[in-house]
Amino acid sequence: LEIRSGEFFLLLGPTGAGKSLLLETILGIRPPDRGSIVLEGKDITHFPPEDRHIAYVPQDLALFPHLSARENILFGAKVRKLDGAKVMKRLNYLTEHLELGHIMTRPDIATLSGGEKQRVAFARALITKPKVLFLDEPFSALDAYIKRRVQFQLKRLQKAVNLTVFHVTHDQEEAFLMAEHMAIMINGRIEQRGTPDECYNVPANERVANFLLMQNIFNSEVIAADSETRVLKCKVGSVVFDVQSIRPMKVGEPLKLGIRPEEIVIIAPDKPLKPSFQQNLFRVTVESLFNLGSREMVHLIFQDDEGLSVDATFSYKITKSVKVREGDVVSIHLRPQSFCILPSE
């Protein structure tokens, strides 16, 4: 696992995947069974945690309740006996960028909100100018509105100071919002590494696809293949999909197909159909709808094969304009390019 200097790297995985164990090993809290930890070309595998020039914000923040916000922030610099003038300059910078000026004179942190405590913890971690900032589920205790605000503040600060961040979370929305590069860990193993877009749209395998809620995954077989366009005809039950492939495949070859719920298009009955929509056009029955706020999750059953179904997400506006109701029969379109061909394992 390699992280570039100045990037916001995120380790994403379900609870119990081993993310925190890996983090604690890098921090020096746990010894590694094998391998090495290298920072800026120097092997720090056997360095004590305090000599690794890194900072850590744990899930519970670990602030000192009897100290003020200012004293909490300056604690690490005081222990390390850093240059006072430089520390004060750094303190002023962090106070401004994390919007902490209004709480610096309070006698302790008892009256601080969750978001304010979070920002104090970030400032305390950054006051010593660490080479890497490590975060373990840092936003899990915050309300949604406060969480989003603090996330944006941290992201802006990270870019402003070119900070290297190693962030651990199980929260997928948080991961895709914050990360420049990410790794997916499942059952103690790194399953995929790449940009958020790569991991989301081209999952490395079915485990990653399931974790990232692809939802619609089918066992299929190639029944026809165009060698020039690389458009495959893939049979799933009684239904045949046109699928755009990035590599040539042979007739009879088994494969797994995946398509995300948001890639499924519902066809308005009163509007002319685009020529491109004639491909992969299916009639389906609406079995159920689930309100997700601005969107609705719709479970659809193919009329050509009642054993085959898909989950689709449509904006609330679309479901109301098309007047989608349980029991209705509607038309949907699945773009050939929207399918993901998952590797056989």
Q: Do 180 and 43 lie in a common domain?
A: yes
pLDDT at 340: 95
> What's 336's domain CATH number?
2.40.50.100
pLDDT at 345 over 80: no
Neighbours of 188 (CB within 10 A): 12
Q: Specify which of 102-106, 180-184, 242-246 reaches the highest per-range mean pLDDT.
A: 180-184
pLDDT at 259: 97
Q: Do 243 and 330 lie in a common domain?
A: yes
pLDDT at 322: 87
Task: Compute the half-sphere exposure of residue 184: CA atoms within 13 Å on the CB side of its CA.
Answer: 24
- Bridge partners (DSSP) of residue 290 are 297
Query: Which residues, in sequence order, are CB contacts of 211 under 8 Å at separation 6+?
Result: 13, 14, 184, 186
Last residue of a domain, one of 155, 179, 209: 209
Residue 48 lies in a domain: yes
Residue 85 lies in a domain: yes
Residue 3 lies in a domain: no
pLDDT at 220: 95
How does residue 314 score in pLDDT terms, banded at 50, 70 and 90? very high
Q: Do 12 and 145 lie in a common domain?
A: yes
**What is the tens place of the pLDDT at every residue in 208-220?**
999 999 999 999 9
**What is the tens place of the pLDDT at every residue in 156-167?**
999 999 999 999
Q: Do 53 and 167 lie in a common domain?
A: yes
Q: Which CA distances in Å does 215 have to 44, 112, 257, 345?
A: 42, 41, 11, 18
pLDDT at 104 over 80: yes
**What is the tens place of the pLDDT at every residue in 63-102?**
999 999 999 999 999 999 989 899 999 999 999 999 999 9
How does residue 246 score in pLDDT terms, banded at 50, 70 and 90? confident
Residue 20 lies in a domain: yes
pLDDT at 247: 86
Query: Which residues, in sequence order, are CB contacts of 299 under 8 Å at separation 6+?
Result: 286, 287, 288, 289, 290, 309, 310, 311
User: Which one, of 221, 222, 203, 220, lies nearest residue 211 by Cα?
Assistant: 203
* Structure token digits, residue 163: 């900070």
Q: Do 95 and 31 lie in a common domain?
A: yes
Q: Do 203 and 124 lie in a common domain?
A: yes
Q: Do 204 and 220 lie in a common domain?
A: no
Q: Do 165 and 238 lie in a common domain?
A: no
The pLDDT of 335-345, averaged and rounded, is 90
- Is residue 67 classed exposed, middle or buried when 0-12, 13-18 and 19+ CB atoms within 10 A define those classes? middle
Q: What percent of the chain has pLDDT over 90?
A: 87
pLDDT at 222 over 90: yes
The structural domain count of the chain equals 2
**What is the tens place of the pLDDT at every residue in 272-282?**
788 888 899 99
Cα distance from N-terminal residue to C-terminal residue, the chain: 23
pLDDT at 53: 94
pLDDT at 141: 86
Neighbours of 125 (CB within 10 A): 21
Q: Do 201 and 240 lie in a common domain?
A: no
Domain that holds residue 16: 8-209
The pLDDT of 43-58, averaged and rounded, is 94
Q: Do 79 and 222 lie in a common domain?
A: no
In 98-205, alpha helices (H): 114-126, 144-161, 172-178, 196-201
- Apex 217 CA angle, 202 and 197, nearest 5: 20
Residue 1 lies in a domain: no
pLDDT at 224: 96
pLDDT at 278: 85
Q: Do 288 and 334 lie in a common domain?
A: yes
How does residue 236 score in pLDDT terms, banded at 50, 70 and 90? very high
In terms of pLDDT, which residue wins out, 320 or 182? 182
Mean per-residue pLDDT of the chain: 94
Last residue of a domain, one of 165, 192, 209: 209
pLDDT at 343: 84
Residue 2 lies in a domain: no
**Of the given ranges (73-77, 129-133, 235-239, 245-249), which has the lowest mean pLDDT?**
245-249
Residue 181 lies in a domain: yes
Judge whether 135 and 57 are in contact, CB under 8 Å: yes
Last residue of a domain, one of 169, 185, 209: 209
Judge whether 244 and 337 are in contact, CB under 8 Å: yes
> What's 76's domain CATH number?
3.40.50.300
Q: Do 187 and 43 lie in a common domain?
A: yes
* Structure token digits, residue 45: 């595998």
User: Which one, of 41, 8, 54, 39, lies nearest residue 160 by Cα?
Assistant: 8
**What is the tens place of the pLDDT at every residue in 125-134?**
999 999 999 9
pLDDT at 6 over 90: yes
